[in-house]
Amino acid sequence: GADVTTIQIDSNGKPVTSGLHTDSEGYWVGNGWKYMDGADSGLGTLTLMSGTWDFTKQNAVKCDVMILKDAVVSGGTFEGIVWNEADGKISGGTFKETVSNKGTITGGIFVGVDSGSTSVINYDTGKITGGVFENNVTNGASGDEGISASITGGLFKAEVQNKAASAAISGGVFV
Protein backbone atom coordinates (compact mmCIF):
# COMPACT_ATOMS: atom_id res chain seq x y z
CA GLY A 1 0.00 0.00 0.00
CA ALA A 2 0.87 3.66 -0.23
CA ASP A 3 2.89 5.24 2.52
CA VAL A 4 0.63 6.91 5.05
CA THR A 5 1.91 10.19 6.39
CA THR A 6 1.05 11.89 9.65
CA ILE A 7 1.41 15.40 10.93
CA GLN A 8 1.69 15.97 14.66
CA ILE A 9 -1.44 17.86 15.79
CA ASP A 10 -1.11 19.79 19.07
CA SER A 11 -3.74 20.01 21.81
CA ASN A 12 -5.11 23.19 20.19
CA GLY A 13 -5.95 21.20 17.06
CA LYS A 14 -3.35 22.65 14.71
CA PRO A 15 -0.11 21.24 13.26
CA VAL A 16 3.13 21.43 15.20
CA THR A 17 5.37 23.75 13.18
CA SER A 18 8.51 23.85 15.34
CA GLY A 19 11.60 23.17 13.24
CA LEU A 20 9.89 24.19 10.00
CA HIS A 21 10.57 27.24 7.84
CA THR A 22 8.04 29.61 6.27
CA ASP A 23 7.81 30.30 2.56
CA SER A 24 7.47 33.71 0.88
CA GLU A 25 3.69 33.69 1.48
CA GLY A 26 4.04 32.97 5.20
CA TYR A 27 3.06 29.29 5.11
CA TRP A 28 4.87 26.86 7.41
CA VAL A 29 6.16 24.21 4.99
CA GLY A 30 6.24 20.48 5.77
CA ASN A 31 6.70 17.41 3.58
CA GLY A 32 3.61 17.35 1.32
CA TRP A 33 1.77 19.95 3.42
CA LYS A 34 1.77 23.59 4.46
CA TYR A 35 0.04 25.57 7.18
CA MET A 36 -1.01 29.21 7.42
CA ASP A 37 -1.56 30.57 10.92
CA GLY A 38 -5.01 32.05 11.46
CA ALA A 39 -5.52 35.79 11.70
CA ASP A 40 -6.99 37.23 14.91
CA SER A 41 -6.19 34.07 16.90
CA GLY A 42 -8.09 31.86 14.46
CA LEU A 43 -6.79 28.35 13.95
CA GLY A 44 -5.62 28.81 10.36
CA THR A 45 -5.66 26.41 7.43
CA LEU A 46 -3.75 23.18 6.88
CA THR A 47 -3.21 22.42 3.18
CA LEU A 48 -2.47 18.81 2.24
CA MET A 49 -0.68 18.85 -1.11
CA SER A 50 0.19 15.19 -1.73
CA GLY A 51 0.30 11.83 0.01
CA THR A 52 -2.11 9.81 2.12
CA TRP A 53 -2.87 11.31 5.53
CA ASP A 54 -4.18 9.47 8.58
CA PHE A 55 -4.79 11.57 11.69
CA THR A 56 -6.46 8.75 13.65
CA LYS A 57 -3.78 8.64 16.39
CA GLN A 58 -3.54 12.45 16.62
CA ASN A 59 -5.53 15.07 18.49
CA ALA A 60 -8.63 16.24 16.61
CA VAL A 61 -7.77 18.60 13.75
CA LYS A 62 -9.55 21.85 14.67
CA CYS A 63 -8.09 24.14 12.02
CA ASP A 64 -9.63 24.25 8.56
CA VAL A 65 -8.21 21.76 6.05
CA MET A 66 -7.75 21.99 2.28
CA ILE A 67 -7.13 18.73 0.40
CA LEU A 68 -5.44 19.33 -2.97
CA LYS A 69 -5.16 16.96 -5.93
CA ASP A 70 -2.87 14.00 -5.19
CA ALA A 71 -3.75 14.15 -1.46
CA VAL A 72 -5.92 11.61 0.37
CA VAL A 73 -7.36 11.84 3.88
CA SER A 74 -7.85 8.30 5.21
CA GLY A 75 -8.69 8.94 8.87
CA GLY A 76 -8.94 11.26 11.84
CA THR A 77 -11.40 13.66 13.43
CA PHE A 78 -11.86 17.04 11.78
CA GLU A 79 -13.65 19.83 13.64
CA GLY A 80 -13.11 22.68 11.14
CA ILE A 81 -14.35 23.26 7.62
CA VAL A 82 -12.80 20.94 5.03
CA TRP A 83 -12.39 21.75 1.33
CA ASN A 84 -11.76 18.67 -0.81
CA GLU A 85 -10.50 20.19 -4.05
CA ALA A 86 -10.66 18.67 -7.57
CA ASP A 87 -8.85 15.29 -7.60
CA GLY A 88 -8.49 15.32 -3.81
CA LYS A 89 -9.89 12.28 -1.98
CA ILE A 90 -11.48 11.48 1.36
CA SER A 91 -11.55 7.75 2.12
CA GLY A 92 -12.12 7.91 5.88
CA GLY A 93 -12.40 10.07 8.98
CA THR A 94 -15.07 11.87 10.96
CA PHE A 95 -15.97 15.36 9.75
CA LYS A 96 -17.88 17.55 12.22
CA GLU A 97 -18.35 20.67 10.05
CA THR A 98 -19.39 21.06 6.43
CA VAL A 99 -17.20 19.49 3.76
CA SER A 100 -17.09 21.32 0.41
CA ASN A 101 -16.36 18.59 -2.11
CA LYS A 102 -14.97 19.01 -5.62
CA GLY A 103 -12.96 15.79 -5.41
CA THR A 104 -14.00 12.25 -4.46
CA ILE A 105 -15.48 10.95 -1.21
CA THR A 106 -15.32 7.15 -0.92
CA GLY A 107 -15.77 6.82 2.84
CA GLY A 108 -15.95 8.59 6.17
CA ILE A 109 -18.59 9.87 8.57
CA PHE A 110 -19.94 13.33 7.81
CA VAL A 111 -21.73 14.88 10.77
CA GLY A 112 -22.21 18.51 9.70
CA VAL A 113 -23.07 20.09 13.04
CA ASP A 114 -22.78 23.69 11.83
CA SER A 115 -25.75 26.05 11.66
CA GLY A 116 -26.85 24.84 8.23
CA SER A 117 -26.82 21.20 9.37
CA THR A 118 -25.05 20.37 6.14
CA SER A 119 -22.75 17.36 5.93
CA VAL A 120 -21.44 17.90 2.40
CA ILE A 121 -21.89 20.34 -0.46
CA ASN A 122 -20.91 18.55 -3.67
CA TYR A 123 -19.67 21.04 -6.30
CA ASP A 124 -18.33 21.02 -9.86
CA THR A 125 -16.59 17.66 -10.37
CA GLY A 126 -17.43 16.34 -6.88
CA LYS A 127 -18.16 12.62 -6.63
CA ILE A 128 -19.63 10.82 -3.63
CA THR A 129 -19.29 7.04 -3.95
CA GLY A 130 -19.48 6.08 -0.27
CA GLY A 131 -19.58 7.29 3.31
CA VAL A 132 -22.16 7.91 6.02
CA PHE A 133 -23.89 11.30 5.91
CA GLU A 134 -25.64 12.23 9.17
CA ASN A 135 -26.96 15.60 7.95
CA ASN A 136 -28.11 17.28 4.75
CA VAL A 137 -26.21 16.87 1.50
CA THR A 138 -26.46 19.28 -1.43
CA ASN A 139 -25.50 18.05 -4.90
CA GLY A 140 -24.61 21.04 -7.06
CA ALA A 141 -25.69 24.64 -6.48
CA SER A 142 -28.58 26.37 -8.20
CA GLY A 143 -27.41 28.13 -11.32
CA ASP A 144 -24.42 25.77 -11.52
CA GLU A 145 -25.27 24.18 -14.87
CA GLY A 146 -22.86 22.06 -16.87
CA ILE A 147 -21.24 20.58 -13.77
CA SER A 148 -20.70 16.86 -13.24
CA ALA A 149 -21.31 16.55 -9.49
CA SER A 150 -22.54 13.03 -8.78
CA ILE A 151 -23.69 10.76 -5.98
CA THR A 152 -23.42 7.05 -6.79
CA GLY A 153 -23.22 5.56 -3.30
CA GLY A 154 -23.27 6.20 0.43
CA LEU A 155 -25.66 6.06 3.37
CA PHE A 156 -27.71 9.26 3.65
CA LYS A 157 -29.60 9.83 6.91
CA ALA A 158 -31.01 13.30 6.13
CA GLU A 159 -32.19 15.36 3.18
CA VAL A 160 -30.31 15.16 -0.11
CA GLN A 161 -31.01 17.97 -2.57
CA ASN A 162 -30.05 17.95 -6.22
CA LYS A 163 -29.77 21.65 -7.06
CA ALA A 164 -28.26 21.61 -10.54
CA ALA A 165 -29.96 19.99 -13.52
CA SER A 166 -26.66 18.53 -14.74
CA ALA A 167 -25.82 17.02 -11.34
CA ALA A 168 -26.78 13.36 -10.92
CA ILE A 169 -27.84 11.06 -8.11
CA SER A 170 -27.77 7.47 -9.35
CA GLY A 171 -27.15 5.46 -6.20
CA GLY A 172 -26.95 5.39 -2.43
CA VAL A 173 -29.09 4.32 0.49
CA PHE A 174 -31.50 6.94 1.78
CA VAL A 175 -33.02 6.39 5.23
Q: Work out the mean pLDDT of the chain and round it to a whole number.
A: 90
Q: Is the pLDDT of residue 68 over 90?
A: yes
Q: What pLDDT score does 32 carry?
A: 94
pLDDT tens-place string over residues 72-128:
999 999 999 999 999 999 999 999 998 999 999 999 999 987 656 788 989 889 999
Decide: 126 and 102 in contact? Cβ < 8 Å: yes
Q: What pLDDT score does 1 carry?
A: 43
Q: What pLDDT score does 165 carry?
A: 81
